[in-house]
Amino acid sequence: MTKRMTRKTKQSRTGITLIEMVIAVGAAALISAVVLIVINPPELLRESRDGTRLADTITLRRAIEIFGAQSNLPPPTPNLIYISIPDPNAPAGSRSNCGGLGLPELSPPWEYRCASTTDARRTDGRGWVPVNFNTLSLGFFPALPIDPVNNPMNGQFYAYVDGGYAFATLLESKKYLRRAALYDLGTDPARHESGPDMRLWAQASELSAYWTFDDSNAQSITDVSGNGNHGELREN
């Protein structure tokens, strides 16, 4: 009698353990699903890439500012957009108009400029930024930074607009679109812009107008793109 009771007790304990295991596995799966929803890994990757973009832009601008303080910047070439995507068809030591890369068309007199694949990340003036950073007393980077994606089809590349100069980079995360793109004093709500002439990217990309609607009580809206397309608010 005692042996039978012992066996039954052992069997019952085993059954309870299996049920507990099933419940634990189900709870773990539910928690994992909730964590994935809350954390949102794709958005975290977008934030990481945007953080790299902002850091790269700051480094490039500081390097150019120091270069200008130590020596004279090369004479500006107006109406040119230098981009971080190399042209595989451009010979080493030369630049191309980036034809065949699928970039958005520009209206004359604006043109793209791409370095060759060999030279794109060089810091001696032959890279995608046409400035010889090797003359600086401080070494900023062993190679020019490029966009983490660097794809012409979706506009994810770094752009250097000559003629006073401005940098522009397309952002993709909700966090940095709100914090950086909208409040950088530039004119493109999807890009982070920096440089002494913030109107250059708007002119180069043919952004016709950009209204911020900051003042809800205003009767007029100011076009901050620099194109002068101001407007008035009217009630229907």
112 pLDDT tier (thresholds 50, 70, 90): very high
Residue 52 pLDDT: 96
Residue 222 pLDDT: 57
Residue 214 pLDDT: 47
Interval 135-152: pLDDT, tens = 887 667 889 999 999 999
Residue 154 pLDDT: 86
How large is the average pLDDT for residues 30-45? 65
pLDDT of residue 200 exceeding 80: yes
- pLDDT > 70: percent of the chain: 69
pLDDT of residue 185 exceeding 60: yes
Residue 150 pLDDT: 96
How large is the average pLDDT for residues 40-59? 93
3-state secondary structure of 191: strand
Q: Give the least confident one: 48-57, 75-84, 168-177, 202-211.
A: 202-211
DSSP designation for 206: T
CA-based nearest residue to 169, from 144, 150, 196: 150
Any idea where the domains of the chain sit in the sequence? 39-205, 208-236
pLDDT of residue 101 exceeding 70: yes
The residue with greater pLDDT, 234 or 92, is 92
> Which residues sit opposite 168 in a β-bridge?
159, 193
Residue 215 pLDDT: 47
Residue 232 backbone phi and psi in degrees, to 5:
-120, 145
How large is the average pLDDT for residues 170-195? 90
Residue 20 pLDDT: 58
Residue 206 pLDDT: 72
- DSSP structure string for 116-173: BTTTTT-SBSSSSS-SBGGGSSS---SS----SS-BGGGTBSEEEETTTTEEEEE---
67 pLDDT tier (thresholds 50, 70, 90): confident
pLDDT of residue 78 exceeding 80: yes
